[in-house]
Amino acid sequence: MKTVNNFIVKNKNILLRVDLNVPTINGFITDKSRIVSIKSTIFKLQKTKNKIFLISHFGRPGGEYIKKYSLKFICNILKNELNVEKIHFVSSIDKKEIQSCQQEMHKGDICLIENIRFYPGEEKNDTNFAKQLSECFDVYINEAFSASHRKHASIVRITNYLPALAGDHFIKEIQNLNMFLNKLKKPTTSIIGGSKVSTKLLLLENLVKYSDNIIIAGAMGNTFLLAQDYNVGKSFVEKNMCIYAKEILKKAKKNNCTIILPVDVVCSKSLNDLSNIKHNKVTEILPNQMILDIGNKSIKIIKKILLKSNMILWNGPLGAFEHKPFDYATNEIVNIIKKNAKKLKITTIAGGGDTLSAIRNAKAEKSFTYISNAGGAFLEWFEGKESPGVKALKKNQLS
């Protein structure tokens, strides 16, 4: 695979695929990690006097222009983060508009192209659209590992028309995720939370081959409890996934992997009912109760397992994390890792939006060996799938 480190790129027009699909509240970016992650590659390209065109998606506009999904708002943030005087902006991929901007730009300048998902050809991975996208450029660089699980034109088809390289952060993601898969330090523990077994079934099926322990909690833990005939009241469950949960338990046993489920839970009648919060054993959940977090006994069991581990992989919260006080267990686990990981030389890898929020809230970033911002691509990689964007770069023979 060609990269920015083994392929010379100088005085070129560069199409740099980045992921600026950043979380926002009322127009303000709440997490800039995806912007920070592209700096290294951009600075390298500036030093070698290239004109850099950033291309990204933002939201899901469905192939049409929708003003609230415009990327123009991010120009000022990019200007500040990249410490440049100006970020050029083009409102379309029209050849004349891009060429006009290229004539205006100096070497080392940066231009942001409007949201690529405004075009239906992007998500269709359309050949003609990719060809049009490539026309004004000399080299394509993928610095969006977090979007590379998508078979989209700016990720996959574009590599048919330009020399295609991997950016610094793209490489960093692969190397660090592979650290768990290829350089296991046993005993290894995976913490898998979140709401649905259905979205993490393949992940669990693959992780039982690598993990000595898998801790399953969050609403998906409810489904596993139901599969073992526990009464879970009116908790969120996927009844149709119980059969698959049982299969995971069998596969885990076959692979000498221990599945750890909650032994006690925090319940209430609803998410908003904070006056009826109860701490119950999993054998004592009432028909009108919902499981909203794991309890203190479960946290103690998890702590013992984590402190005996040499490697930890974490994806997904352990309760209804967005709603206090049901973020308690997730925050406790973060703090256990924060206090002990470096001291005990535990390799720790984390990914997933709510997991990252918990880590940042606890100011525990430095306690983790690697924190991925890849989202869905993170999950697919640990399912054992090589991302379409990675395959496309490997196949590229243009020079």
Residue-wise pLDDT for 302-315, tens only, equals 999 999 999 999 99
Residue-wise pLDDT for 42-79, tens only, equals 999 999 999 999 999 999 999 999 999 999 999 999 99
CA 285/CA 63 separation, integer angstroms: 47
CA distance readout (Å), 317 to 95, 320, 373, 379: 46, 7, 16, 14
pLDDT given for residue 352 in this prediction: 85
Residue-wise pLDDT for 384-399, tens only, equals 999 999 999 999 999 8
Determine the 3-state secondary structure of 319 from DSSP.
Answer: coil
Buried b (16+ CB within 10 A) or exposed e, 64-96: eeeeebbbeebbebbeebbeeeebbbbeebeee
What is residue 386's DSSP assignment?
P
Quickly tell me which residue has 């969006």 as its tokens: 144
Q: What is the mean pLDDT of residues 84-90?
A: 97
pLDDT given for residue 353 in this prediction: 79
CA distance readout (Å), 70 to 39, 95, 109, 113, 151: 22, 20, 21, 10, 22
pLDDT given for residue 26 in this prediction: 83
Q: What is the mean pLDDT of residues 209-216?
A: 97
Q: What is the mean pLDDT of residues 187-213?
A: 95
pLDDT given for residue 31 in this prediction: 87
Residue-wise pLDDT for 11-45, tens only, equals 999 999 999 999 898 888 988 999 999 999 999 99
Residue-wise pLDDT for 130-165, tens only, equals 999 999 999 999 999 999 999 999 999 999 999 999
What is residue 385's DSSP assignment?
P
For the chain, the domains span 13-171+387-395, 184-368
Q: Which amino acid is at 397?
A: Q
Residues in the chain, how many? 399
CA 8/CA 10 separation, integer angstroms: 6
Check the CA dihedral 213-170-142-399 and report its sign: negative
CA 18/CA 359 separation, integer angstroms: 24
CA 179/CA 386 separation, integer angstroms: 15
At residue 336's C-alpha, the angle toward residues 378 and 377, to 5°, is 5
Sorting pLDDT into bands at 50, 70 and 90, what band is 294?
A: very high
27 vs 86, higher pLDDT: 86
Q: What is the mean pLDDT of residues 275-295?
A: 96
Asked if pLDDT for residue 361 goes beyond 90, the answer is no
* Domains 13-171+387-395 and 184-368 agree in fold: yes
pLDDT given for residue 27 in this prediction: 81
Instruction: Output the CATH code of domain 184-368.
Output: 3.40.50.1260
pLDDT given for residue 354 in this prediction: 84
Asked if pLDDT for residue 116 goes beyond 90, the answer is yes
Options 3.90.1170.50, 3.40.50.10490, 3.10.20.740, 3.40.50.1260; CATH of 13-171+387-395: 3.40.50.1260
Query: Can you give 81-120 as a three-state secondary structure string?
Result: HHCCCCEEEECCCCHHHHHHHHHHCCCCCEEEECCHHHCH
Q: Which amino acid is at 391?
A: K
pLDDT given for residue 263 in this prediction: 97
Q: What is the mean pLDDT of residues 340-364?
A: 92
Helices (H), the chain: 33-36, 39-47, 75-82, 95-104, 120-123, 127-134, 168-182, 201-207, 219-227, 242-254, 296-307, 328-340, 353-361, 376-382, 388-395
Whole-structure pTM value: 0.92
Q: What is the mean pLDDT of residues 111-130?
A: 98
